[in-house]
């Protein structure tokens, strides 16, 4: 993850008042011993509950404490929100010069645990799936009056009530999880970036799966060339089954009901790292004269747009 200090507006945005709490992964399951940075939970009791859980997965090297505006926005829409910490220190780009199938093995080890790729070492306890289940169970037990129990079904998350979101590497994990489980929606930011440079084509795992493509939304910056080019990024999204596109700088919500949303903020050349991280990182967000994130309407659209089209 790049750390870039930039000044695209420092005014404090207008906010609601969600409660934000932190819990270390090992508190939810003592078998979790790696990547113990806190999960962050957002809940706004001042708005009607949506009855859906938004799970946000940060990108490579990121913590859960740098992207609060997106979480606050989701909580203000009635979502229960969990920013999930997981083993994210190795970038998926290490697979770029291998066969396309390598990307899936790399991600599945992080998502499910196992011994699938030598560049990561994630067992079942430390996997995304176990961390998510144990976090929900902990919340259901410790904060029983907040409705977290509705997101457990047997000994699994109640996937039909889960919306998955993620930035960069986290967005790729969210999309692959949605291939395995029928979820309420998928929101990816600056991702997915799994593209085989060796074969000059998108990774093999894109497309199909349990979650219909109508439930997936992507937001990408036209100057984001982290790991791959913008054109390769769009190839990945096409391979994922998405086709309709809208430039959010030129269109207003509902953006022609598109599922690929693009931006070129601030309308002049910027560093690729800023373009990539600035989609969701608080201190990089472009802001309007009112201090609100310029991208907030895009986030709201992706989090609330009809998934029946």
Residues in the chain, how many? Answer: 309
**Cα–Cα distance list, 15 to 55, 79, 93 (Å):** 21, 16, 36
* 165, 189 Cβ separation under 8 angstroms: yes
Q: Which residues pair with 221 in a beta bridge?
A: 263
Residues 6+ apart with CB under 8 A from 262: 219, 220, 221, 222, 245, 246, 247, 248
pLDDT of residue 99: 81
**255-293, pLDDT tens digit by residue?**
999 999 999 999 999 999 999 999 999 999 999 999 999
CATH topology of domain 19-304: Rossmann fold (3.40.50)
**157-210, pLDDT tens digit by residue?**
999 999 999 999 999 999 999 999 999 999 999 999 999 999 999 999 999 999
**80-119, pLDDT tens digit by residue?**
999 999 999 999 999 999 987 899 999 999 999 999 999 9
Sort 53 into a burial class: Cβ within 10 Å, 0-12 / 13-18 / 19+: buried
CA–CA separation, 272 and 157 (whole Å):
36
Strands (E) across 258-309 are located at 260-263
DSSP one-letter code for 24: -
**Cα–Cα distance list, 63 to 48, 54, 265 (Å):** 29, 17, 24
**94-104, pLDDT tens digit by residue?**
999 998 789 99
């Amino acid at each position: 993850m790049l750390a870039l200090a930039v000044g695209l507006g420092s005014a404090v945005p207008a906010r609601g008042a969600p409660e934000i709490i932190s819990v270390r992964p090992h508190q939810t399951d003592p078998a979790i011993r790696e990547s113990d940075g806190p999960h962050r939970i957002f809940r706004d009791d001042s708005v009607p509950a949506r009855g859906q859980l938004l799970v946000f997965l940060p990108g490579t090297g990121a913590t859960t404490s740098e992207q609060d505006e997106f979480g606050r926005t989701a909580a203000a829409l009635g979502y229960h929100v969990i920013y999930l910490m997981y083993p994210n220190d190795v970038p998926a780009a290490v697979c770029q010069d291998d066969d396309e199938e390598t990307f899936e093995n790399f991600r599945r080890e992080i998502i499910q645990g196992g011994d699938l790729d030598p560049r990561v070492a994630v067992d079942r306890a430390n996997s995304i799936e176990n961390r998510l289940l144990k976090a929900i169970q902990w919340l259901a037990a410790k904060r029983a009056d907040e409705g977290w129990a509705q997101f457990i079904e047997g000994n699994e998350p109640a996937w039909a009530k889960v919306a998955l979101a993620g930035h960069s590497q986290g967005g790729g994990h969210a999309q692959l999880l949605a291939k395995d489980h029928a979820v309420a929606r998928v929101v990816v930011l600056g991702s997915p970036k799994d593209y085989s440079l060796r074969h000059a084509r998108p990774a093999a795992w894109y497309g199909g799966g349990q979650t219909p493509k109508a439930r997936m939304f992507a937001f990408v910056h036209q100057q984001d060339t982290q790991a791959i080019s913008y054109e390769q990024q769009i190839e990945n999204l096409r391979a994922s089954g998405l086709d309709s596109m809208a430039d959010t700088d030129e269109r207003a919500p509902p953006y022609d009901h598109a599922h690929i949303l693009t931006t070129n903020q601030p309308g002049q050349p910027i560093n690729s790292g800023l373009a990539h991280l600035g989609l969701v990182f608080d201190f990089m967000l472009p802001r309007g004269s009112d201090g609100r994130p310029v991208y907030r309407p895009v986030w709201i659209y992706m989090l609330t747009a009809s998934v029946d089209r």
